[in-house]
Structure formats: C-alpha cells, structure tokens
Amino acid sequence: MSCFGGFGQQGYGYNIENLRGEISDILGMNRGHNAVILGAGNLGRALMENFHFERSGVALSAAFDVAPDVVGQRLSGVPVHHVDQLEEYLGQHPASIGVLTVPRSVANRIAGRLVASGVKGIWNFTNIELTVDAPDIVIENVHFADSLLALSYMISEVP
C-alpha cells in the first residue's frame, strides 16, 4: 500500500471510506469503463447473470451473438445484438472493454474488430492466445484449465 502513497496515520490506522476510494482510483474503478460481451452462449450468459460488472466499476452495455434465438433478446437486462452490428454499435456507444466468450475459431477475428472499433482491453475467455497487432491493447487471458491444474497441484500438496 505504501507504494501508492500514504493512506493511513501511524498509530490510528486507516479511514476505511477514504481507503476504499483511493483503492478504487488506483484500480481504475472510478473511470467509467464500459464493456460489451461477444458471445451470449453458456459462458457469456453465466457472466451476465452472475458477475456483477458494476461492482468492479464497469458498465455492461450490450452483448453480441449470431444465434437467431438470442439476438434481439435481453439477458439479465443486457440487450443482445447481432455481431454484424458490432462496429455500428461501438461507433455510437464506445466501449473500453470487450469480453470474449466466442468459439476459438473466430476469437482473433472478433478481437481484431474490437480493436479496430476502439476497445482498449479484452477479457479473453476463449482459451487461446490472441494475436492482436496493437501494442497498446491490454489482453487479460482467463484459462480455466490452468486454474484447475493449479488447484489440483495445491490440494495434492496438502498432507
């Protein structure tokens, strides 16, 4: 904490409300980030229904898919558009974060479209490494298999 500045007072501790505000500033939670989800299948739906984006300072504005039975619906209050409308939507409603839950076969193509539309960060659940030719784009890869292997290792080491 001391790397980011002085937040407390020696002998008195921290003012919790001020500390929460400072941590929120450091993590960028107060910057009004907006996100879109690409892929409203099982994983995309699970994120929309169970992950509270707003608690992390991110507004989830829309989802995109190709399935006719999903496009035009609202899932957990989030409108689902056809992926063909992605660039038009982002032109009118800029997003800083794209959440990828699409099939691996289209992940790089969709990531490229997100980057070309001004998205600055990609939360990648596709289980492949994206090859985006843009050094200023931040990609956070989520690998479920790695997480499961780490858990397996940790419980195997417990006596």
pLDDT tens-digit series, residues 63-105 = 999 999 999 999 999 999 999 999 999 999 999 999 999 999 9
State if pTM tops 0.75: yes
Condensed to tens digits (0 to 9), the pLDDT of residues 36-64 reads 999 999 999 999 999 888 887 899 999 99
Residues 6 or more apart whose Cβ sits within 8 Å of residue 133: none
124: DSSP letter: E
Q: Is 85 within 8 Å of 72 (Cβ atoms)?
A: no
DSSP state letter for 4: G
